[in-house]
Structure 1
């Protein structure tokens, strides 16, 4: 068994927290294992003045890390699963998916507190088309502004850019110890989360049996079933950063429940649906729900999205 392991990660505070958390768990479970962390700058980290949807989608936060792994420079990558494309490069695999942290989005509005209390025309910052569309579906009067940067940067911009509120993933805030900044958890009937939000993905080379064995204990079956259904749904619709799609899977009383929404960019059109079934059929359930929604209104919404340039927003960050 390996006694040394190199983890590759982005250099943001959240990415480093996640990598160090996994390193700590690994060292606890495998006494004597030496883990080092290598910082890798990704395209998404370099380009901060352009909406993510315009610079290549989800792969902008993983490509350079994956190339480093294929070159043998690192053994394991720790990603936020929501940053990962639904299809991986040849030679790489998801070795484990951790137990999910809180999957929902959080509103931060020190002055107003909750979405319903924001004044008419309030300025809300988010980098996500998914969040933008769902916010406008609920409150079409809002002015939604593009907001890029790491979690700490976005929190700072709440004040420096005179925003009334911002929306971030609750999981990231909690991991960084900033959950006290949250003024409202946005419920799924208002804002469904991004695919895989709240879960960490451990990626390695497909043929690296030693690393696969080392991280196996971190894999959570219920989370894996939920996010497999979510990723299957997104993959079937060929969606990503350019498409406002929310989807949320969870295992309840032994049954996998999957809720999804497809929206127009302005939130005026919103199609929502649900499917339930066995966790073992997660991939099939996600695909079936996507196919059903596509023929019951999703086709028209998606056609409208691709018929015009996407406006602002970006990844489900």
Structure 2
């Protein structure tokens, strides 16, 4: 039996390739919205329906496990950010285009708000809860009078900046192509989130996630909503610091192959080279970097794609 030879490539019929088809932006932002919805429902729902004095670890552990599960379930599509701070860190590090980062943040906000609405609707059905906003006050981020131990603005600000920087640093480092243990990235990020949430629980329910902070503040008391700005400014500042550090790592590491010049596939605003360098380092000796790749594609999403190969 003679097997017919494959048809030659033509402009109308591209050559067959083993490279998987990458999701478009719509699919990626949909995954971000769905993953953020799950993260918010678990992160806020568990403390809302748990007595903190009986098990103070349940809320932070549930939130961390939710992040790990969401990254495993949807990370191969979008990279598994589910957090505007993580997305900002990727943009600053040069791993994600600015336009795509903005789309990610918008999707994360949509998912977080849907999660908040869902929990609000569930609380409205509980007869023993007279004021739903008061219930949300117990999980909303805040400082001063809205802090369990009355930590002032400066203290909560430092915790948020430090925590977000550590979270983004772990995310960027764990998903780097140079990391030999990158298959464990979801668990590294999830455990980091759990530890940080436990650290910031008493000072001010610090979420290290502006989307989650927004979801809780919108259904809380007005004074809590007035403090929301801090939980956007501080984590984004921490994420920017981590992104700059990793961008410095990329610039200080010699590239194995020339980095492509800016073209239609490269965002000149960010001009990142980390992906090209890390892929070149991870490629077997004597092989070239994959064709058609650009320096500003999301390396975290690329990492999850590689797991299925």
TM-score normalised per structure 1:
0.32
- Structure of greater Rg: 2
Greater relative contact order (Cα 8 A, min sep 6): structure 1 or 2?
Answer: 2
TM-score normalised per structure 2:
0.32
Structure in which a larger fraction of residues adopt strand: 1
